[in-house]
Amino acid sequence: MNSKESLLRKMVEYKDERDKYIEQIPSDIQAAFFDNGYVDTLNKTVKLLIHECFGDDAESVVWFLYKWRPGDTIAVQRVLHQIWLRTIDDYIQFMKDYGLEDWNENTVD
């Protein structure tokens, strides 16, 4: 497993942990919990690090982390055929095959 792959897997694991925690917070409190300068700067920091680590693939990684959900089936038009992204493994294989950065090397940019 290369560095980009292991980094993405760890980021997904931590995101899942955060999501479980957030689900426990009453919805009327969630807005106050997240609508502040501290959380805004943390989000900016995370996006900056994603861009630094994943280079030209950063926008795709952000989409995968924050929009895609396990079980979702997304058809991606590339190379005149559709690719179905059902799992994190599907997404990683997609990035290895079609990503703008080299996902087969053992380094993070």
Q: What is the DSSP letter of 35?
A: S
Q: Return the pLDDT at 7.
A: 94
**Interval 53-76 mean pLDDT:** 85
> What element of type H or E holds 77?
strand 74-78
d(CA 56, CA 34): 28
Q: Give Rg (Cα) of the chain.
A: 15
Question: Residues 18-44: pLDDT tens digits?
Answer: 989 989 989 888 888 788 899 899 999
- Tell me which of 106 and 45 has the higher pLDDT: 45
Residue ranges per structural domain of the chain = 3-98
**Mean pLDDT of the chain, nearest integer:** 85
d(CA 30, CA 52): 29
Whether 81 shows a pLDDT value over 60: the answer reads yes
Q: Which pair of structure tokens corresponds to residue 12?
A: 């997904």
- Tell me which of 82 and 62 has the higher pLDDT: 62
